[in-house]
A and B are shown apart, each in its own frame.
Chain A
Amino acid sequence: GQSLEQPSEVTAVEGAIVQINCTYQTSGFYGLSWYQQHDGGAPTFLSYNALDGLEETGRFSSFLSRSDSYGYLLLQELQMKDSASYFCAVSVADDKIIFGKGTRLHILP
């Protein structure tokens, strides 16, 4: 079967750095992406890694190691508005994406 594993919840302090890990086991792999979802809202696309290494977009960075079937999302200078659920997702064949179950990020003042 196909599976993505990520922690169900993570708690961090405002202004700190937090890393959300994702490991995957899929039949195909084209890339790893991350989505953010606030309560009551729809998921919004954050980043995509097709190659190994770190991609940085402002306060957010995403890392991929294809040999380890592993990636992470790094959030720096945490703000209260970053409180949300974060989903990792793997692009498999034919433009189809499989999502993890999401990590709920709690930020303490």
Chain B
Amino acid sequence: DVKVTQSSRYLVKRTGEKVFLECVQDMDHENMFWYRQDPGLGLRLIYFSYDVKMKEKGDIPEGYSVSREKKERFSLILESASTNQTSMYLCASSLPSGYTFGSGTRLTVV
């Protein structure tokens, strides 16, 4: 089975901090994605990547950046965390027909 691992299950950070969310997949997939999930808003795409060093903006990229230096690792960066970035963050790696998600990181910015 494809495994997508997110490094932290819960995080609490202060406003203005730089935050790194890490995601690793073990199936040599080229495509990886970062979503955030909020009540009533569903899953919204932040950034995605088709290959090493390649990145594309999703629907809500503002306030975020990403890094893909190795194929298996896709990092989401909050340059200066704000309270409106408190959310559940989900990383995914793609199969031809669907995604495998990591277990999610619940980030709280105080």
Contacts and interface: CB of A to CB of B under 8 A. Distances in A.
Interface of A: 31, 33, 35, 41-45, 48, 50, 87, 89, 91, 94-102
Contacts of B103: 41-42
B42 A44 contact: no
A43 B104 CA distance: 9
27 contacts: A33-B97, A41-B103, A42-B90, A42-B103, A42-B104, A43-B90, A43-B99, A43-B101, A44-B101, A45-B100, A48-B97, A50-B97, A87-B42, A89-B98, A94-B50, A95-B31, A95-B94, A96-B45, A97-B33, A97-B94, A97-B98, A97-B99, A98-B45, A99-B43, A100-B42, A101-B42, A102-B42
Contacts of B94: 95, 97
Contacts, number: 48
Nearest to A100: B42
Contacts of B95: 45
Interface residues of B, number: 22
